[in-house]
Structure 1
Amino acid sequence: MSAIGGSKLRIHWLKVPHCWLKRSAVLTNTTITHNTNRDVFQGLFTCSCGFAYVLYDGEKNPYEIKAFHHRVKAKGKEWEREFDILVSKGMSVKDIAKITNISNGTVLRRIREGHNYVEIGKMKKKQELKEKIRIQENADKEEWLKILDKFPNYSRSELHDKNQSLYARLARYDNKWLELNLPNSQRGKSKTSEKINHERDLNLLKKAKSILNDWSLYEKQAGKIIKRTQFTLYTRIGMDMRLKEKYPISAKYISSFIESKGDYQIRLIDQCIENHFKDDEIKKYKILAISGLRKLEPKAEKHLEEIMQVSNKKF
C-alpha cells in the first residue's frame, strides 16, 4: 500500500533523516494535502524534535530520495538549540557540517544570518523587488505625463500607440491612476449621436427653464413649500439623473436651482411668518410647531433671530 493517500500510514517507524541527535523519531503530526503543481497527494511528517519533511504518494523510505534536503520543511527548535550549542563550543564550520550533515555554506549562513536565513532572504528579495517596481512606476508616470503634455489632443488609442509597453506597465501597476490621466473614452460615440444628444440637451434646457422659473406657481398649486432637491427637480422636469453627463448644459442649469437644507428652512420660516405672524409677536417654538421643523440649521437659526429682533420691537 502507498505510504501516502491512504488511512493506514506505516511511516512512523522510520528514523528521521538528518536527525543527528541519533535517536528514534516519533511522528507527532501527519498532514495529507494535494500538490496541485505535481497533481499528487503529499504528506507532511513532523517529528517530536520538530523536524518536518515531505513525501509524495508512492514514496516509502526518505533515505532513498535523492536531494532529500529539498524536502525538509523545518529542522525544529531542538535541532536549532543543539546547533547553537556546537557553535558556542567554538567548533569549526567543517566539523559542524559533518555532524549535522549539511553543507559548509549552509552552516555559515545559519551562523551569520540565523536559523531563518531562508525566509529572511526571501523577504529581502521581495522588498528589493517591490522597491524596484515602485521606482519604475514613478518613472513611468513621469514619462506618461510628458506624453500627455506633448500630445494634449490625442485620443486614448493614439496615446497607447505612442508607447505601448509604457501603457501596458501603467495599466498593470496602477490602472486607476492611468484612467485619471487619460482623455474620456470615445467608445460607442459618433458625431451623429453627439449631435442628437446636443439637440436633446437644448430641448431639456428649454423645458427646465420653463418649469423652474414657475416653481413658486407649482408650490402654490401644491399648497406647500417644496424643497428643491436634485431628485425633485429632475423628476419634475422628466429627466433621468443618470444621464447628467450626457446632457451637461441642462444638468448645470438644474444644479443652480438645488437648495441646501438651511435655505429650505428659511423659505419655510418666511412663509410661516407671512401667514401667521403679521400682527403677532414671533415666537421660535411656535414657528417650529407650525412649520413642522425640529432643529434649525445655523443659517436658518440666524435668519429667524434677525427677523425676531426687528419684528418684535413693536410688541
Structure 2
Amino acid sequence: MHRDRYLWLLTERNLASRGGKVRVSALLEAFKSYYSYDLLERLQCVPNEQDKNNWLFRLVRSPRQARHPLYHLLLIQLLGYTAEEFFQLPDSPPDAFKPFGSKPWPCLNPVCQQFQQLSIKECQVTYDKQRSRITGTFSCTCGFTYSRLSLDSLPEDRFRIGKVKSYGQLWEKILKNFWANPTVSIEEIAKQLRVDYQTVKRQALRLGLSFPRPGPTARVAKINGELLRDTQNGQVTQPSKLESYRMAWLEAVKENPHIGRTTLERMFQRIYSWLYIYDQQWLQAHLSSWD
C-alpha cells in the first residue's frame, strides 16, 4: 500500500515515529520549506494549516478514498524519490514499524542462565492513544517480565529495563535463599539481584518472608522479647543487660541504614522505649545522626 511506503520513508526522515505515528507539524514544515508558496498556489495544492484534515495529512493516513495524483507526486518528490522509484519499493519493508526491532530480545534477569542472551521470542506491543506512547513487554521462560516505554534508537537500548512487571519464580527463589542466609546483608542482596535496598524489602514483604531476618536483627528481636518479659515482671535491669540493649539498638541502626528515625523507633519500639526511660542520655547521643 502507498501509505506503508509513506510511513517507512517518513520514519527514515524523523517525520514519523517507528510506531507509525506521523509528526504532522514537522511534516507540514518540511513541505512548506521544500515547495514555494507561489508554486503550490499555482498548482492549487496549498495545504490548509488550520485544517487537521487537509489533503497532505489525509494522504498519510489510512486511505478511505482516492487522492489526486498530483498530491502523491508532490509528497513522493519531497521524500526524495521519483514516481517510478517509489512504486518499485516493497509494500512492507523488513522490520518496518516494529518499535522494538525484530525478535529475539534479551532476558534481563541477573540470576537467569540466559541473562543478556537473546532468548525472548515474543514482544507484546501496546499503544496508548491518550498518551501517545508505545509500550513493549518482554517475558522470559524464567518468569522475569519487563517493559519499556520509549522506542529502541540505539542497539544498547535492548538491554534497558523501563519497569519490572514480574520478577518471576527464579528471582524470587534466589531472594528467599539470600534472605535466609544471615551472613549476607540486604545491601549485598540488592547488589546481587540488581535492585535497590527498598525493592529487596518490599519483595521480601510481598513473599511473606520472616521479619526480622536471621542474624543480628533476629538477635534484636530476641532482646525485644526479653525486655518485654522483664518489664512485665517489674525487674530492674543488670548492667550487662544495659549493654545488651545498647548493642541491640546499635545493631538495629546498622542493619537498617536506609530508613528514617521514626520508622526505626516504631520497628524496635520496646528497645527504644526502654532506653528512653532508663538510658535517655546515651540514646539521645546515638540519635544525633538524624538531627
TM-score, scaled relative to structure 2: 0.32
| Structure having greater relative contact order (Cα 8 Å, sep ≥ 6) | 2
CA radius of gyration, larger in:
1
TM-score, scaled relative to structure 1: 0.30
